[in-house]
Amino acid sequence: MDFLERMNRAVDYIEARLDGDIDSGDIARITCCGVYQFGRVFAYLVGTPLSEYIRRRRLSMAALELQRGGQKVIDVALKWGYSSPDSFARAFLETHGVTPREARSPGVKLRMYPRISFHISIRGDADMEYRIEEMGAVKCVGVEKNLGRFSFKESAEDWMEAGGELWLFWDEFLDKGANLIIRDKYKLYRPPFWQVGTNVTLPNGDTLIQIGAEARAGEEYPELTRFEIPAHTWAVFTARGTLNQKVHPVTQTLTRVMSEWLPSSGFELFEGMQVEVYGPGDTMKDDYVTELWLPVRKNG
């Protein structure tokens, strides 16, 4: 099963549960990628964060029920995830331009946000640089944080704002002690991993973020947290571009990997960790290189 089919199955799952609980961990299992990966690709492909898509779909379905009549506004509000008539009325008015009660009137115009589906579209006008690495476990040190049921911020102007708590964690790492300890005290930034960031979807659906560098055997790092990149087969992609742009180069590359490379590669994603490697150079330059490491296995 290719990734686009998995994305469409994830949409099937979401649509079947619009009036109930939608578990991000289930979405990760359906798509065989992390919650973070799915959210990142979804927002880039659709132009809308997953949480906003779900909100709009629920309000579209609520509008249809109100037009059909026969149900109280409070019952419709509760069914589609709103705990009070006031919060439902505010969200409904923002989306449809009328109140829930006005939506019952004949001739009232409402907005329908349609269900999405994903289709492959390979343009072939840009090369993709990649390699396959067979690698043993890599022991790292740095910092880590559980972001819980992380999702991208709605209506963000750029990737830093969209990342919200995730970017704040990176920003704190870069500007404060851990980065300096790794760089100056232990001098751990070196190839092939330089400065490494990972994200892992935990069994409960939480997103765990880890930032640091490869450790040296036999050395102790009392100020830092240890973590490990597991032994695996990795597809490694070059993401080229300045970080001073609205869309992160890794997000652009990840989207192309999912929609173009995977369907024809003979590989499929293996559930686990996504790794980003930030090497030396000026991150504000158009030719700055970041590497995206994705665990894969051969189809079949």
> What does the alpha-carbon distance between residue 127 and residue 108 come to, in Å, rounded to a whole number?
50
Q: How many helices (H) and strands (E) does the chain have?
A: 11, 9
Question: What is the CATH code of the structural domain delimited by 52-104?
Answer: 1.10.10.60
Q: Quick one: pLDDT band at residue 113, thresholds 50, 70, 90?
A: confident
Which of the pair, 89 or 271, is modelled with greater confidence?
A: 89
Confidence of residue 83 (pLDDT cuts 50, 70, 90): confident
| Sequence spans of domains, the chain | 52-104, 130-298
From 65, 133, 135, 49, select the one nearest 100 (Cα to Cα): 65
Please check the confidence at residue 274 and state whether its pLDDT lies above 60.
yes
Contact 236/130 with Cβ under 8 angstroms? Answer: yes
Give φ, ψ of 281 to 5 degrees: 125, 175
pLDDT of residue 116 exceeding 70: yes
CATH topology of domain 130-298: Multidrug-efflux Transporter 1 Regulator Bmrr; Chain A (3.20.80)
Please report the pLDDT score of residue 166 as a whole number. Answer: 79
Q: What is the mean pLDDT of residues 108-120?
A: 78
Check whether 124 has a pLDDT greater than 60: no
User: What pLDDT is stored for residue 120 in this prediction?
Assistant: 54
pLDDT in tens, 129-149: 888 889 899 999 999 999 887
In whole angstroms, give the CA distance from residue 18 to residue 49: 16
pLDDT tens, 197-246? 998 888 777 888 999 999 999 999 999 999 999 999 998 999 989 988 88
Nearest to 31 by CA among 56, 11, 53: 11
Q: Output the six-digit token pair for 61.
A: 């379905």
User: Percentage helix, strand, coil, to 5, in the chain?
Assistant: 40, 20, 40
Q: Does the pLDDT at position 127 exceed 80?
A: no
- Highest-pLDDT range among 17-26, 120-129, 188-197: 188-197
Identify the band that residue 115 occupies on the pLDDT scale cut at 50, 70 and 90.
Answer: confident
What phi, psi does 278 have (nearest 5°)? -110, 110
Hey, do 52-104 and 130-298 end up sharing a CATH topology, with the first three levels equal? no
Local confidence band at 121 (pLDDT 50, 70, 90 cut-offs): low
List pLDDT tens digits, range 183-207.
Answer: 999 999 998 889 999 988 887 778 8
Contact 18, 58 (CB under 8 A): yes
Q: How confident is the model at residue 114 (pLDDT cuts 50, 70, 90)?
A: confident
Q: Which of 39-43, 94-98, 265-269 has the highest mean pLDDT?
A: 94-98
pLDDT (0 to 100) of residue 207: 84
Tokens of 142: 């740095």
Task: Give yes or no for residue 269 having a pLDDT over 90.
Answer: no
For residues 269-273, average pLDDT:
76
Which pLDDT score is estimated for 39? 77
